[in-house]
Structure 1
Amino acid sequence: MRAFFALCLIAIASATVVSLSTATFNDTVHGEKPVFVKFFAPWCGHCKRLAPIYEEFSNVAATEFPNLVVAEVDCTQNQDICEHVQGYPTLILYKDNESTEFESARTVDALKEFVAKKL
């Protein structure tokens, strides 16, 4: 039983993707820390394939990029935030009031390389 609870705690601790909403988006992306945001729709097949990769990236980023906020926006629940999004998933890095869209392979290594170059 203790092992089960330990695994649950590890799973909770490794969930580092922050869900943003209309109420939290602007303060987060215009804050002091850089923010890497995945805009997605739950029904999107490409988004479903990216989800475990993005989660793995967030776990890696927690140690390699400790000041980076890894976040996501469900565009079906926050349509006002997603007006500029033209396809799902869209990945954008916000830093110093500028935004840069990620346009490369959807792998953990590619995400790390992109973030490392931009930070």
Structure 2
Amino acid sequence: MKTLAEASGVVARPAAEVFEEVRRRVTGGYPMRTEIDPDRGFLAVQGGWWYRGEYRVTADPAGTRVDHRVVNVASWGRWGVPLANRFFLGFRARTAVAFARMLEELGRPDGPEPLPARRVT
């Protein structure tokens, strides 16, 4: 497994609330395998032939720390993942921006806005 991107940050809300919201966001709407361990604050989603996104949600003095990691888990054709994804140009930056946006939404005092409905085809 090779880590392709990492991001982390702190949200000023209780860990249980943050974990549930992260779970709702990353497991809804897409056909992916999930691994959920609320006792450890761990959540992973895996889809396609290479993608695995892992989240760790832990208590922090300022609220809740959320760590995110994107991993290449391809068991075959691992060398082709960067080619298929245009060498991941800008991937780390896009991952960091999307993660920061999610943390901002999770940290709103009135809670995050509802996710938009997704069309399943």
User: TM-score, normalised to structure 2's length?
Assistant: 0.33
Whose helix proportion is higher, 1 or 2?
1
User: TM-score, normalised to structure 1's length?
Assistant: 0.33
